[in-house]
Amino acid sequence: MTNARSSSEPIDVVSDRYVTISVDDGSAGDMKTADLLHKYGLQATFYIPGRNPERPVIGPSQIRELSRRFEIGSHTLNHAPLKFLSDEKASQEIREGKQLMEEVLGEAVISFCYPRGKFNGTTPILVKNAGFLGARTSLMNLHDFPRNPFLWGVSTQAYSHSKMIHVRHALLEGNFAGIRNFFQDYKGATDWEEHFSRALAHVGEHGGIAHMIMHSWEMEDLGQWKKLESVFAAISRSGLTSVTNGHLYRIWSSNRVSPVPVAEPAGGPR
Ligand SMILES: [Zn+2]
């Protein structure tokens, strides 16, 4: 992947401490998540597909309601894992998902998220060519500006994974920085609240981006709304700057960030 940025005025990443939240899938519970985010004065990006064969997606009026306070990003037209589609079909999913959200909102949609975190070597280029500014993966245990803005990593998924899952996913994805960070900076934490508190602490001390990704339907299924509220309260106390994903994509594209090298990932499970 090429890096088109110039070396002019790099940001001192040590002095920039961000926190951002991704809410994926546009499920009915997103309205409740939005209320909680608002209560704690937090920003977030809601990645919403046009349709999802796995569960219902909120309608245009609710999407517009969310967009009054938060960013809406695209999550393809049919929530299809793009890694396994032809370039032509993948491109169609990416472009038509963007078009649909833009019709709903009446404004440009600049942020993209890969369904199930899956992509292949070409997918990030297709996303870029569709006119997005940045794309978020599900590569975990990362808290730095990426080398490639179409392969943006995250710190924590709001779901408790075992140590083995953390390591196995990272190996399959070629996310070697993630493995190192998991043990060094996240202290091998498996409980997601503890895991994200490590991200907040690390970024508070060293700079970077604490990025939590979540599904409202998982909060509902696992009865974890109280835990989510506790995490939101911790974020609001952290003193980090709460921004949307799109805000970070714009910073990246403004050529002001000095990139922190990360391995080019392969795009694996989940
Ligand atoms: Zn999804």
What is the rounded distance in angstroms from the CA atom of residue 120 to the CA atom of residue 101? 24
Distance between Cα 25 and ligand 1 center (Å): 5
What's the 4 CA to ligand 1 centre distance in angstroms? 29
| Distance in Å, CA 11 to ligand 1 centroid | 32
In sequence order, what E strands does 6-164 have?
17-24, 45-48, 71-74, 111-113, 134-136, 156-157
Task: Tell me how far the alpha carbon of residue 93 is from its chain's centroid.
Answer: 19
Ligand 1 centre to CA of 5 (Å) is 30
- Which of 76, 12, 42, 24 has the alpha carbon at shortest distance from 238? 42
CA of 239 to the centre of ligand 1 (A): 29
Distance 265 CA to ligand 1 centre (A): 19
Query: Cα of 224 to ligand 1 centre, how many Å?
Result: 19
Contact 60, 86 (CB under 8 A): no
Task: Retrieve residue 244's tokens.
Answer: 């949307």
Centre of ligand 1 to C-alpha 9, Å, is: 36
Query: What is the rounded distance in angstroms from the CA atom of residue 55 to the CA atom of residue 50?
Result: 12
Q: What is the whole-number distance in angstroms between the Cα of residue 256 and the centre of ligand 1?
A: 30
- The dotted CATH code for 15-253 is 3.20.20.370
Q: In angstroms, rounded to a whole number, what is the distance separating the alpha carbons of residues 95 and 226? A: 37
CA 186 to ligand 1 center in whole angstroms = 24
Give the whole-angstrom CA distance, residue 178 versus residue 170.
Answer: 6
How many angstroms separate the first and last alpha carbons of the chain?
A: 23
Pair of tokens at residue 224: 């974890």
What is the Cα–Cα distance from 269 to 266, expressed in whole angstroms? 10
How many angstroms is it from 248 CA to the middle of ligand 1?
Answer: 20
Neighbours of ion ligand 1 (CB under 5 A): 24-25, 115
How far does residue 75's CA lie from ligand 1's centre (Å)?
7
* Spacing, Cα 81 to ligand 1 middle (Å): 9
Looking at residue 5, what is its pLDDT?
39
Structure token pair of residue 189: 């934490």
76-102: pLDDT as tens digits: 999 999 999 999 999 999 999 999 999
Distance 189 CA to ligand 1 centre (A): 24
- Tell me the domain boundaries of the chain: 15-253
- pLDDT-flagged residues of the chain (< 70): 1-15, 255-270
**Cα gap 167→182, rounded to integer Å:** 8
Q: At what angle do helices 225-238 and 30-39 cross, to 10 degrees?
A: 30
Q: For residue 180, how far is its CA from the centre of ligand 1 (angstroms)?
A: 26
Name 209's Cβ contacts closer than 8 Å, sequence gap at least 6. 18, 19, 20, 143, 144, 145, 155, 203, 248
Distance 124 CA to ligand 1 centre (A): 17
